[in-house]
Amino acid sequence: MIDPDDSGDLKVDVARRLALTRSAMGVDQQDFGTEAGLSQPQYNQFETGKRRLTLDAALALCMHYNLTLDWLYRGDPSGLPYRLAEAIKQARKKSV
């Protein structure tokens, strides 16, 4: 299932998925970016939608957190680890 909350604005949708994923993992914003090798200001710009997520940054997040580009860019959670996909589903319910 593709993300039902997509707005059609890629930058906004990716930012929302980043925040949702981070929240589901229980990691604060600073640690989420820096643990994957991104600076805190750089990651903050991606998560707040001020800047479009670059492919290099997305790949770093995918490698460190076992995410997929399909999830980050297209909203398709089917390739995510089951527990993470379930945690994201629960975090989505809480944010509504």
So what's the pLDDT on residue 4? 83
Q: Does the model's pTM come out above 0.85?
A: yes
Q: Mind listing the pLDDT tens digit for each residue in 7-57?
A: 999 999 999 999 999 999 999 998 999 999 999 999 999 999 999 999 999
- CA-to-CA distance for 18 and 16, rounded, in angstroms? 5
So what's the pLDDT on residue 52? 96
For the chain, how long is the longest CA-to-CA vector?
A: 32
Count how many domains the chain has: 1
- CA-to-CA distance for 5 and 28, rounded, in angstroms? 23
CATH number at residue 75: 1.10.260.40
Is 51 contained in some domain?
yes
Q: Is the pLDDT of residue 1 over 60?
A: no
Q: Is the pLDDT of residue 2 over 70?
A: yes
Please say whether the beta carbons of 42 and 55 come within 8 A. Answer: no
So what's the pLDDT on residue 96? 67
Sort residue 62 into left (φ over 0), alpha (ψ -120 to 50) or beta: alpha
Is 48 contained in some domain?
yes
Name the residue range of residue 36's domain.
Answer: 10-95
So what's the pLDDT on residue 55? 97
